[in-house]
Structure 1
Amino acid sequence: PGPSLITAARHRARLAAGSADHFTGYGARQVLDAHPARLADLLMDRKRRHLVRPVAALAKADGSVMVPGRVYGAARRLARTPYGAGLEVLADRLMNQRFDEPGGAVGASLAALTWARPGPAARWLTGEALAEVSVRLQSAPSRQGSGPGQRPGDFRARAALARHANDLRVLEQAAEIRSQRLHTPFLDNQVVRACRSLPEALRVQPGARAAILRTVLEGAGVGDLPPGWGAPSHASAAAAARKGLRVAADPLMDLFATPLLAQAGLVEARVVRKALRAAAQGEPLPLDGLADLVSLELWLGRLLARRGTCWTGTPARARAVPEGIRPQRGALASG
């Protein structure tokens, strides 16, 4: 399952207008941009002065003089928090169903300054499901001191890149156009290494991603790019997702009339239908969380529909020589 399952039709319509080889920018943000948790890495490396530029950018976007203190405090707590303790905090949040997070760019950065946090769909899971996950986290071997072997920023950045790459594999299959090859150069191993080798001062700043892409293409002889190229807007994607939710509201109500997720005890159908209806009417609910629920329900339905159609081998009772009966020497070799 992956969020791409619910956007596959839209992407397939877009890809159908392309040629036999279609190049995409998937992964550019995860490879070139820095995860907010890197601020904790800077503190661990005693590079406090490197926090000035990203924190100043957040303060400018938020317009509050309290931003530097809040961000520095969160980064300092993360730098001093072992991985096992971070999992304990996550387990406590799940057990007590604490999902509220501050909004805006500063809020997103503060929420990301942790080893782990509840996923966007967690608020719609049942109490039993959340408690089960909480117990598993508390009993994880990682609590015994065997952490991920990485600093918080590196760990969160690699995890985000891995999730994005996995979802792209889902998209490649769900939105496949026959005789078309989908290329994602930013997820190539050599490109990832090249991007990571760039100095952070160069790539971690507003507009750096588009500037780096333009510089690379100019070096390859590609110029005269239109204004704004390489800097896609999140607002247009969010607006398209919300419009799609409004258009598909009725089919989604039918999908969650008797959902498989509810039969498994993971969600309550009534709660999910209420959330879908509210989001379609414009309430500020996390659309990525609803996308996770819808994609998982679709995946479960398709998984059950395929059961029994795969070759599993010849049953034992249909074999020519039943098990336990040893043929005489030479019997199977005779003409």
Structure 2
Amino acid sequence: MAGWRALAIGFGVEVAAPYLDNEVLRACLAVPPEERGAPGVYKPLLAAAFPNGPVPPFVLGRVTKGGFNGVSYAGLFGHADTIAELLGPASRLASLGLLIPGPVEAMLRLAGEGQRVPQGSLHPAVATEVWLRQLDVRPVAWWEEVADRVATA
């Protein structure tokens, strides 16, 4: 955060991003994922940390950030097995120690039964896993100047 803050201040912009503070992030990440929230409960860690302010009530009460609607649940329900395989023990995220397959499998089992689950952490995990796998199969590309034009390989 300090680097971004210094850059912004260099342009005369004061950055106020308390939720991105390193200590705040460490405290939140110290809470096991399965205890960080539940379907229909928004910002539980933030609300528990600041029950009497300074976080405005409208921030704690906002439920519109994240489109976990019927279509999203239907997709999750229909593809829970595929996602479980993607994020299972053989996943890149698991091999890097960034994901623990057990809680993910339990959540997807509930989703496969049609239960509501906290999808806020699932979507970034799926996107990151797919991105990491693409790094393994995409051909390496580079730019090279050839006379008066640029060529790619």
Output the TM-score relative to the length of structure 2.
0.53
Question: Which amino acid in the other structure matches residue 287 of structure 1?
Answer: Q
| Match of residue 264, structure 1, among 63, 80, 96 | 96
Cα distance change on mapping 1:102 and 1:304 into 2, 3 Å: closer
Quickly say closer, same or farther: Cα 1:90–1:244, change in 2 above 3 A.
Answer: same
Once the two structures are superposed, the pairs formed by residues 286-301 of structure 1 within 5 Å of their partners are 286-301=118-133
CA distance in 1, matches of 2:117, 2:82: 19
Q: Hey, what does 2:11 align to over in structure 1?
A: none
Q: Name the structure 1 match of 2:69.
A: 238
User: Could you tell me which amino acid in structure 2 is paired with residue 94 of structure 1?
Assistant: L
Alignment match, 2:3:
none
Q: How does 1:156-235 map to 2 (within 5 A)?
A: none
**Larger Rg, first or second structure (1 or 2):** 1
1: CA distance between counterparts of 2:91 and 2:136? Answer: 13
Corresponding residue for residue 73 of structure 1: none
User: Would the aligned equivalents of 1:276 and 1:290 in 2 still touch at CA under 8 Å?
Assistant: no
2: CA distance, partners of 1:103 / 1:264: 30
Which residues in structure 2 correspond to 1:71-220 (within 5 Å)?
A: 87=21, 88-97=23-32, 99-100=36-37, 103=40, 108=43, 111=46
Q: Is the 8 A contact 1:262 1:269 kept in 2?
A: yes
1:247 paired to 2:82: no
For CA contacts below 8 A with separation 6 or more, give which structure has more relative contact order.
Answer: 1
TM-aligned CA distance change 1:269 to 1:94, over 3 Å = closer
Alignment of 1:302 with 2:113, yes or no, is no
Which whole-Å CA distance do the structure 2 matches of 1:295 and 1:310 have between them?
A: 22
The whole-number CA distance in structure 2 between the counterparts of 1:260 and 1:275 is 19
Distance 1:110 1:293, change over 3 A: closer
Q: Secondary structure at the match of 1:266?
A: coil
Note the alpha carbon deviations across 1:266-295, whole angstroms, 9 max, x for none: 112333222222223233321122111111
- The Cα of 1:113 is off from its aligned counterpart by 10
* Equivalences, count: 115
TM-aligned CA deviation for residue 89 of structure 1: 3.8
Question: Percent same amino acid among aligned pairs?
Answer: 27
Root mean square deviation of aligned Cα:
4.2
Q: Call closer, same or farther: CA 1:237–1:304 in 2, change over 3 Å.
A: same
- In structure 2, what is the equivalent of residue 284 of structure 1? 116
Aligned residues of 2:38 and 2:117 also touching (Cα < 8 A): no
Give how far 1:310 is off.
1.0
Aligned mates of 2:81, 2:116 — CA distance in 1: 20
**Structure 1: runs of 5 or more not aligned:** 1-81, 115-151, 157-232, 315-335
> What SS does structure 1 have at the residue aligned with 2:69?
helix
1:250 Cα deviation after fit:
2.5
Q: 1:250 to 1:110 in 2, by over 3 A?
A: closer
On the 8 A contact 1:260/1:300 being kept in 2, the answer is: yes
Matched AA of 1:248: H
Change in CA separation of 1:311 and 1:92 when aligned onto 2, cut-off 3 Å: closer
CA shift for structure 1 position 110: 9.0
Q: Secondary structure at the match of 1:250?
A: helix
Match of 2:151 in 1: none
Question: Residues 88-109 of structure 1, C-alpha deviation per residue, up to 9 Å, x if partnerless?
Answer: 34422322446247945xx559
| Structure 2 runs not aligned, ≥5 long | 1-15, 50-54, 146-153
Match of 1:275 among 102, 107, 117: 107
The alignment partner of 1:283 has SS state of coil
